[in-house]
Amino acid sequence: MNKLISNILASSSPRRKEILEQIRFEFSVSPSKINEDFNIDLPPEAFTEHWAREKAKDVAKDYPYSLVIGADTVVFLDGKILGKPRNNESSKKMLLSLSGRTHEVITGVSLINIDSKLDITFNERTFVSINTIRYKDICKYIEIYKPHDKAGSYGIQDGFSIHVEKIKGCYYNVMGLPVSKFYYHYNSILKRNFR
């Protein structure tokens, strides 16, 4: 059997790091240099899986004996993928479009180990219902929390939580990593491939 040397998170996301630390998962961080191209014509599930895998592959080249974890999260509404806002105006438009409606948050996760030729990619979907938000509250939220590094321009774990009416699905998926599904696949990999 092959021996897994280490786990690498191919992301600089503090939320993903926090989720893995919360379950006392041992890992180090080596962010991918891949940037998503939102012009590629893929459905949201395939989009997130594609970019999660590209990120994992990018880092795995430098860590062939490690298990590399790539992830990509988007918000999906009205047939459109919403990534991270470019600026405050983009952020306002995103949040106004989410106000009073239910949207989907989809995260793709990819687990790659080059030495064992291991390559698993999956996605998770969560439905998030948002209360109607006043324009001034949107502006205040952006000013305080500066959510430019978050898909859909909000963080469910920060001050935006007061606007979330309900969710259906994995809460941690909205944060950026569906931890239960991730751990299921991780344990399956260990049992099948490593000792």
* Phi and psi angles of residue 59, each rounded to the nearest 5 degrees, phi first: -80, -35
Contact predicate 30/10, CB 8 Å:
yes
Active-site residue, from 72, 119, 137, 149: 72
Contact predicate 120/71, CB 8 Å:
no
Q: What is the CA 60 to chain-centroid distance, rounded?
A: 18
User: Residue 40 carries which DSSP code?
Assistant: S
Contact predicate 19/38, CB 8 Å:
no
- Dist CA 152 CA 146 (whole Å): 12
| Token pair 């859909």 in the structure block, residue | 152
- Dist CA 82 CA 4 (whole Å): 36
Contact predicate 165/173, CB 8 Å:
no
Query: Does residue 72 have an active-site annotation?
Result: yes
- Dist CA 100 CA 118 (whole Å): 42
Any idea which residues carry the catalytic annotation? 72
